[in-house]
Amino acid sequence: MLKSKFVIMPIGPQVRRLFGPYEHQIAELYRRFFIDLDNFAQLMHEWVPEAKTILEVGCGEGAMTERIVRAYPSASVTAIDITPKAGRLYRGNPAAVTFRQETVEAAASREPASFDLVVLCDVIHHVPVDLRPSVLSAIRRALATNGTLVFKDWAISSTPVHWLCNFSDRYLTGDDVTYYTTSSLEKMLTDSFGPGAIRQIKTVPPWRNNVAFLVQSPQTGENK
């Protein structure tokens, strides 16, 4: 039996190519409407003042990677994404980060229990729902003992800005995105990392939809 499925064709890549050499600046302005990444990086550094080895999961074209490298200039940073364009718009020190096209499951198998800090920023709502537990389980395996996950995602709300974010994610990226409420995100992380793993929860400007979690499980680094 043939199964038909409505496919959303992303318009983002075509539009962004029109900006030519100004693509990085335009992308930064667009992203800033939804989230202040500099504020998030500052919060992350307050939560985790020092880290020697960092894994960024779902780095995209490198916007958050730039902030991670600036916040932790002495750290060894690995940034991964399943897209072949990982780090395409990165404008930081090229010697400070290694970009890889791979899944987090592959990274966890390659370097188990190796990372002091894992960053997962605005990724999970792009991941198919049935694959989300596998992603979080792999992150747990990749974390060193007493390592830390800084997790941030966009939470559902009945507001115009959420409708705009949903439209943007679906039609600019073409992904079949699914969002959670803040309480559902909290449950998902607790299910993966254990009771008491969430140490702090804060919002990131400019919208309260940007919810960040500090996660540190006593079993971090062990296979679940």
What are the chain's domains? 27-215 (3.40.50.150)
Residue 20's pLDDT is 62
Question: How far is it, in rounded angstroms, from Cα 61 to Cα 147?
Answer: 25
pLDDT of residue 30: 82
Residues 37 and 39: their CA atoms lie apart, in Å, by 5
Determine what percent of the chain is predicted with pLDDT higher than 90: 77
The pLDDT of residue 59:
97
Check residue 22 and give its pLDDT.
Answer: 67
139 membership: H or E segment, kind and range: helix 132-142
Model pTM score: 0.88
Q: What three-state secondary structure class fits 106?
A: helix
Which tokens go with 142? 């990749």
pLDDT in tens, 16-66: 555 566 667 877 888 899 999 999 999 999 999 999 999 999 999 999 999
